[in-house]
Amino acid sequence: MIVDCAIYRDGRRTEGPGDFSEALDEARAAGGFVWVGLYEPTEREFDHVTEEFGLHPLAVEDALKAHQRPKLEVYDDSLFLVLKPVVYEPEGDTVSAGEVMVFLGDGFVVTVRHGEGSPLGAVRKRLEHEPELLGKGPTSVLYAIADAVVDHYLDVSTELQTDLEELETEVFSPTSGGSRYTASRIYSFKRQILEFRRATVPLAMPLSKLAGTGPFGVSVPFVDDKARPFFRDVSDHLTRVNESVEGLDRLVSDILSAHLAQMSVRQNDDMRKISAWAAMAAVPTMIAGIYGMNFDHMPELHWVWSYPVVIALMVSLVLLLYRLFKRRGWM
């Protein structure tokens, strides 16, 4: 459905006519642009937008189906950028990603949103309070959306870092040493980081193209060259996020390895204790077994003090083994 549609002239909003074609002509005539915002449109709803703005059918297909990787595509009449805003839910410690598709052309911006993780409403309000920035044209909208998405990545990265520190404390706590559910929590956390990386890592190349850095030092159509420093700033922020995510991924792998090593050591300790107790139980069992064979001719069988001597011998041997195992750290 269409969430918002407006014409912007000199950074000021004016309500556009209901017909997209008239709105586009009016905006171009006034040196402004049209910004149309849609939320999970159907194919039928999007057909009218496609026809009026001349959007490429391949980009339209991607916008309708969603589930795309972050990417930047340049067509004859428009530019197509895919971003994946991320939402962090502290109650369940989960990361979920939405999608924002931006069509940028001569005198128009069309944004398509899928999922809940979208900053578009806040971006539009912020831009409308900054007419100087909004007056730069459609490029300012593209920059503001990318900047809002990447800035939220930084917030999510900070939240994940906090959760990882809590998980690390739990694993290495001298009292708990990690519960029986710790391994599943670590795997779940690693999965959230993977979901986060799917949104952040592929976005590096599109932002490099927009910033004109690295091997992509060429102008991108429909994007003002004067906006390159702003996209470079967004790209720098994304680099920080990707470095942080990579560090989180390595650290959670190390924590998982350490937890598994702790579990192995703990199992070895338990086996040694069980073996020690079994050895101490085996000695009196062996002696009792020998004297329980009921033979007539056995040493000291008819001696008055045989019973207390054998009991004392059993206790002495058990205490000797206990002291030996205790000294070696098996008990």
pLDDT for res 234: 94
User: Nearest-5° angle of CA 285, CA 286, CA 289?
Assistant: 85
Say if residues 72 and 205 touch (Cβ distance below 8 Å).
yes
Q: Is the dihedral of CA 93, 97, 98, 103 positive or negative?
A: positive
pLDDT for res 84: 92
Distance CA 202, CA 219 (A): 20
Q: For the chain, what percent of residues have pLDDT higher than 70?
A: 89
**pLDDT band, very low/low/confident/very high, at 299 (cuts 50, 70, 90):** low
Q: What is the pLDDT of residues 76-103, one digit of tens each?
A: 888 999 999 998 887 777 888 889 999 9
Q: Comparing 310 with 104, which gets the higher pLDDT?
A: 104
Say if residues 205 and 239 touch (Cβ distance below 8 Å).
no
Q: What is the pLDDT of residues 151-173, one digit of tens each?
A: 999 988 988 888 888 888 877 77
Flag whether pLDDT at 216 surpasses 60. Answer: no
**pLDDT band, very low/low/confident/very high, at 200 (cuts 50, 70, 90):** very high
pLDDT for res 118: 64
Q: What is the pLDDT of residues 96-151, one digit of tens each?
A: 888 999 999 888 889 998 887 666 888 888 888 888 888 888 899 999 999 999 99
Domains along the chain? 2-263 (3.30.460.20), 267-327 (1.20.58.340)
pLDDT for res 17: 60
Distance CA 215, CA 193 (A): 28
Q: Comparing 326 with 70, which gets the higher pLDDT?
A: 70
Say if residues 107 and 36 touch (Cβ distance below 8 Å).
no
pLDDT for res 133: 86
Using DSSP, state whether 4 is helix, strand or coil. Answer: strand
Lowest-confidence region among 171-180, 201-210, 233-242? 171-180
Most confident of 175-179, 233-237, 280-284, 322-326: 233-237
Q: What is the pLDDT of residues 233-273, one digit of tens each?
A: 999 999 999 999 999 888 888 888 777 777 777 777 778 78
**Nearest partner of 85 among 120, 129, 132, judged by Cα:** 120
